[in-house]
């Protein structure tokens, strides 16, 4: 599982380098992978990109963001996301 999650994060990073625009489902998937890996650094970076791209209010992205923060142990951040859903 972790190997697949690592590959998902690497694929997302490659998309960014190649200027490929992710959609809400891409953000949702990579945020879940960050949560599985407990990779809060990339998770917060991707959260910022998601906001900048206008996908913060997409339900799939919000639920994945909530899950990522919970899996990384950031309960306060997950509560902030939950209040916005």
Kindly report the pTM of this predicted structure. 0.88
Rg (CA), the chain: 12
CA distance 80 to 26: 22
pLDDT for 1? 62
- Residue pLDDT, tens place only, 14-60: 999 999 999 999 999 999 999 999 999 999 999 999 999 988 888 88
CA distance 62 to 31: 10
pLDDT for 15? 96
User: What confidence tier does 61 reach under pLDDT thresholds 50, 70, 90?
Assistant: confident
């Amino acid at each position: 599982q972790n190997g697949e999650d690592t590959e998902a994060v690497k694929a997302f990073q490659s998309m960014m380098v190649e200027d490929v625009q992710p959609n809400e489902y891409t953000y949702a998937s990579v945020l879940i992978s960050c949560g599985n890996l407990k990779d809060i650094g990339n998770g917060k970076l991707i959260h910022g990109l998601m906001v900048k791209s206008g996908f913060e209010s997409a339900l799939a992205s919000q639920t994945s963001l909530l899950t990522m923060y919970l899996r990384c142990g950031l309960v306060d951040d997950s509560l902030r996301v939950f209040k916005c859903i």
